[in-house]
């Protein structure tokens, strides 16, 4: 399995997202310019210019027409995927950390960081079909969690919002009223900052990664812990195969501690675990810095990783990957 090296970003990667058809890969980095690539050969298709801060996350609509990006420049932008033009800019008083389209793409959930005297918040915005009719207005603003909210995503049927972040507690909110419905149990939950959260293809369960060197699998409706995957370094990114019972964890030390370790070529690896047995089944090495982003192609036949080293590595699985037996 020879990875395709995709060089286009000048700064560390922060987020990767495939479109629903799996033919485009969107990447965000600290260099202000989200980029779109062909997902089969890793060719760069174009960039989205307009942010002037690190871009922390993105999402693409189901029809691959709209891209939404959240940035440290305190804005969230909507883009035309095809032309790269900006359609709308939402302004906030603090950096925008996470963005996620609802099923149907009529709503977006956005999280903003604590900044100056502002606390962190979760915002729900209505996304107009016609950009000319788009407004700034928030349908709902949820405040409460302490510290940064690193990720917020929609629950089943857009009825709930699932959030997680620095206080290590996963919360489920009512997306109509903003009421807190459930909190993850402190005993079984993560012990340190939750860095990443990804849903299964059917939305029935989701996976969280944390600096406590573990990833956990949760039931979306009841918020009960299903599985825990333990590794030996902090987890910055998680992904779940839509095809096989595999989860992938990526990480490494915090960027500030990296220089103190030995620099064997590309020793930062994405670790594959069996989703059910919770055992490590393999790893893919190659990055020269911690892995900050992971994504599976919706067909489950390839995955990509983005690193602190500024590279996106695209891996098409060999046939024998599909027959791994434990």
User: Looking at residue 255, what is its pLDDT?
Assistant: 55
User: Looking at residue 145, what is its pLDDT?
Assistant: 85
Alpha-helical (H) ranges within 92-211 are none
Taken as a whole, the chain contains a residue count of 326
- Report field, pTM of the whole predicted structure over 0.75: yes
Percent of the chain with pLDDT over 90: 92
Reading the block at residue 183, the tokens are: 């909190």
Stretch 27-43: mean pLDDT? 97
Number of domains forming the structure of the chain: 1
User: Looking at residue 265, what is its pLDDT?
Assistant: 56
Nearest CA-CA partner of 270 in 259, 261, 280, 260: 280
Stretch 238-248: mean pLDDT? 97
Reported confidence tier of residue 308, pLDDT bands at 50, 70, 90: very high
Stretch 69-88: mean pLDDT? 98
Q: What is the CATH number of the domain that holds 83?
A: 2.130.10.10
Count CB-CB contacts under 10 A for residue 115: 15
- Where in the sequence is the domain holding 182, given as residue range(s)? 3-322
Cβ atoms 122, 107 nearer than 8 A: no
Cβ atoms 110, 125 nearer than 8 A: yes
User: Looking at residue 256, what is its pLDDT?
Assistant: 58
Reading the block at residue 273, the tokens are: 């675990």
Nearest CA-CA partner of 63 in 20, 16, 120, 106: 20
**Tens-place pLDDT, residues 157-190:** 999 999 999 999 999 999 999 999 999 999 999 9
Cβ atoms 20, 297 nearer than 8 A: no
Reported confidence tier of residue 259, pLDDT bands at 50, 70, 90: low
Q: Which of residues 265 and 113 earns the better pLDDT score?
A: 113
Reading the block at residue 323, the tokens are: 């027959």
Residues 6+ apart with CB under 8 A from 273: 215, 229, 246, 247, 248, 249, 279, 280, 281
The secondary structure element, H or E, covering residue 67 is strand 66-71
Res 283 pLDDT > 70: yes
Res 266 pLDDT > 60: no
Stretch 80-107: mean pLDDT? 97
**Tens-place pLDDT, residues 182-201:** 999 999 999 999 999 999 99
């Amino acid at each position: 399995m020879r990875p395709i090296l995709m060089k286009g970003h000048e700064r560390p990667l922060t987020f990767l997202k495939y479109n629903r058809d799996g033919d485009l890969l969107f990447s965000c980095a600290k260099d202000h310019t989200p980029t779109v690539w062909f997902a089969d050969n890793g060719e760069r298709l174009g960039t989205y210019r307009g942010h002037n801060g690190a871009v922390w996350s993105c999402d693409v609509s189901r029809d691959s027409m709209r891209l939404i990006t959240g940035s440290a420049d305190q804005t969230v932008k909507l883009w035309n995927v095809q032309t790269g033009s900006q359609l709308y800019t939402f302004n906030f008083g603090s950096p925008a950390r996470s963005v996620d389209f609802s099923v149907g793409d009529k709503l977006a959930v956005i999280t903003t960081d604590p900044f100056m005297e502002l606390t962190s918040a979760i915002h729900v915005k209505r996304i107009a079909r016609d950009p000319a009719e788009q407004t700034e207005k928030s349908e709902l603003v949820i405040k409460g969690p302490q510290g940064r909210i690193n990720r917020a995503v929609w629950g089943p049927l857009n009825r709930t919002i699932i959030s997680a972040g620095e206080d290590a507690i996963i919360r489920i909110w009512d997306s109509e009223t903003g009421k807190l419905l459930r909190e993850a149990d402190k005993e079984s939950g993560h012990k340190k900052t939750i860095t990443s959260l990804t849903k299964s293809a059917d939305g029935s369960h989701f996976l969280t990664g944390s600096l406590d060197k573990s990833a956990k699998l949760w039931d979306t409706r009841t918020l009960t812990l299903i599985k825990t995957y333990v590794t030996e370094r902090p987890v910055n990114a998680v992904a779940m195969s839509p095809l096989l019972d595999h989860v992938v964890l990526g990480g490494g030390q915090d960027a500030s501690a990296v220089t103190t370790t030995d620099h064997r070529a590309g020793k930062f690896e994405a670790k594959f675990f069996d989703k059910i047995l919770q055992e490590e089944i393999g790893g893919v090495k190659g990055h020269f810095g911690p892995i900050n982003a992971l994504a599976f192609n919706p067909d489950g036949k390839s995955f990509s990783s983005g690193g602190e080293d500024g590279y996106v590595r695209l891996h098409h699985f060999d046939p024998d990957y599909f027959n791994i037996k434990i």
